[in-house]
Amino acid sequence: MPALTAATAADPGFLTEVVHVAPYAVAFSLPVALLGSLALHLLRGRGLTASATVLVLTPLAATLAGVLGVSGFMFTPILTTTLVICLLVAAVTVPSGLLLGRSLARRSVWERDARARERAAEAARRELVAWVSHDLRTPLAGIRAMSEALADGVVSRPGEVHEYAQRITGEAQRLSGMVDDLFELSRIAAGALRLTLSAVDLAEVVDEAVAAERPVAERAGVVLRSHAAGGPAVLGSSPELARVVRNLISNAVRHTPSDGSVVVQVGHDDAEAWVFVDDGCGGIPDADLTRVFEVAFRGAQARSPEPEPSEQFTGRQGGSGLGLAIARGLVEAHHGRIEAANLGPGCRFEVRLPLAA
């Protein structure tokens, strides 16, 4: 058979026939190929699945058109066999093209989302570094200035020395809190947070957090009230849940004017338990409601005016800007959710957690 094939290919008559039918094959297959190219052009940006399907069908359709054109549309046994083979090839290649297109589309979407997440994370890291370098300088500069004043004898009266010592202690505690917040946020962002979950009495956690934050609220002139109704336990970790509640209460006290009130409520329904923290901040702009849990986001200046130096010991020191971001990370680690909404004279921060089995 190979010898016969080689002889046939070398036959001048065979070559003449090939040269004769080649223009017909090109004439019938070329328009199909051009239509396929046009379809690919029109489908650009629509989806890889459709493009892959066109890529598979175009050569097959062009081949069929060329074969039909050369045969003069006379269905001989050889032509019928050729068409059956082409249909069998199509039955295999078209589904394969669809699967390949979908796989490529999923991979493309995943890569695009991964790049977007990476860019967002890098932007957040740059923003955090800029924020840290700015906010850590303020207490450090204060500590340095006051310690130099004490060392140089500029401040010598016992009352002033005591006041300066208190201020240095306050700034050192503020720095320590910032470092703790940064460490906790880095654990959350790196996925290194490991919680030991058990049945926790959420009302008890809230009562303890309110008791711990009440002195700060009293120094700020804010009334702190709680309504904690007992009920089913939640599946969580007491230290982390306590930090969530304390962060929310601290944020509410800081943004509530003197003589205002902060109300903490605890309850549950059939599916989940909830904690509401209502403050008197005057409301949050709608554009900022979705951003309050971002790292270092502090909102409009009108909502949270910076304290004067004389207010240093009133409990209104500027927040680290990380408390709400940490609260969101801890709540999500408990498979819960946290939201913010305007309510009455202020806003409400709402935490919902799954009940323990």
Domains in the chain: boundaries: 2-111, 196-357
Q: Is 197 helix (H, G, I), strand (E, B) or coil?
A: coil
Per the document, the length of the chain is 357
Nearest to 234 by CA among 281, 275, 292: 275
- CATH fold of the domain at 196-357: Heat Shock Protein 90 (3.30.565)
Q: CA angle, 31 as apex, 27 and 33 as ends, to 5°?
A: 115
Strands (E), 181-237: 198-200, 223-228, 234-236
Q: 0.95 exceeded by the pTM? A: no
pLDDT string in tens for the chain (357-residue length): 444 454 444 556 656 766 666 776 777 777 877 887 787 777 776 666 677 777 777 777 777 777 777 776 666 777 777 777 777 777 777 777 677 767 777 777 778 888 887 887 777 677 767 767 767 777 788 888 888 888 888 877 888 888 888 888 888 887 887 777 777 777 777 666 777 888 999 999 999 999 989 988 998 899 999 887 776 788 888 888 999 999 999 999 999 998 899 999 998 888 889 999 999 888 888 888 888 887 766 665 434 434 433 344 344 455 556 788 888 988 988 889 999 999 888 899 999 999 887
Q: Give me the amino acid identity at 217.
A: A
- Contact status, residue 236 vs residue 204, Cβ threshold 8 Å: no
350 to 129, 225, 242, 271: CA distances (angstroms): 29, 16, 15, 15
Work out the number of other CB atoms within 10 angstroms of the CB of residue 324.
Answer: 25
